[in-house]
Amino acid sequence: MNIQQVRNIVTFYLLRMLKSDNIPTHITRDVMEFDKSRGAYCGKIYNKYDIIKHIHQAERVTQINSVPQNSRCMVDHKIIPTDNAGVQLIVHIDSKIKHLIVQKKYQHILYNYFRIRHFPELCMEKIQKWFVNESWFFPNVFKSNVLLKSLLQSNFCDMIHTEINEIF
């Protein structure tokens, strides 16, 4: 994925946040292509690991960087040798909590799956935080073109591009 496609994706999500009905076709096309890539990635991982179904449905995941002694990994079903060789994931699904224990070697796979599965929400959350942290920004004051220009002229798209490339 090149930087221009990422700029188009970021543009799409900002315009969506602003409830714009006027999204250019080329931007929508790049988002659709990215969504296909996200779907292919998620499908590949989903079919490989049974535990992913919990991450797939998750609204939020909290990580604890240790496990109880003699814990068994829920991916490969092996005993985790030490308390710091695994992580606990507290997965929030529909107001319920699911407790998962995995070896650290699977942590990155599960984390990336969650990030790409929930990319639209996470990206829009980052956009919102970016604006809130800008000293010049006041809600409902600026037009969408001013907001978009400021966002695209920053390093925000580079950051998102790097994140996407880390996953794919």
Would you list the DSSP string of the chain? --HHHHHHHHHHHHHHHTT-S---HHHHHHHHHHHHHHHHHHHHHHHH-TTHHHHHH-SEEEEES---TT-B-TTT-PBPSSTTSEEEEEEEETTEEEEEEEEHHHHHHHHHHHHHHTHHHHHHHHHHHHHHT-TT--TTTS-HHHHHHHHHHSSHHHHHHHHHHHH-
**Is residue 15 very low, low, confident or very high in pLDDT (cuts 50, 70, 90)?**
very high
Phi, psi angles (nearest 5°) of residue 34? -65, -40
Residue 114: Cβ within 10 Å count: 19
- Report the amino acid identity of residue 31: V
Q: What is the pLDDT of residue 51?
A: 95
**Is residue 92 very low, low, confident or very high in pLDDT (cuts 50, 70, 90)?**
very high
Please choose, from the candidates 97, 71, 96, the residue with its C-alpha nearest in 3D space to the C-alpha of residue 87. Answer: 71
**Is residue 149 very low, low, confident or very high in pLDDT (cuts 50, 70, 90)?**
very high
Residues 6+ apart with CB under 8 A from 49: 75, 106, 109
**Model pLDDT for residues 123-146, shown as the tens digit of each residue:** 999 999 999 999 999 998 999 999
Contact between 90 and 65 (Cβ < 8 Å)? no
Over residues 71-88, the mean pLDDT reads 96
Q: Residues of the chain with pLDDT > 70: what percent? A: 100
- Report the amino acid identity of residue 47: N
Taking the C-alpha atoms of residue 27 and residue 44, their distance in angstroms, rounded to an integer, is 26
Q: What is the pLDDT of residue 24?
A: 95
Burial of 145 (0-12, 13-18, 19+ CB in 10 A): exposed
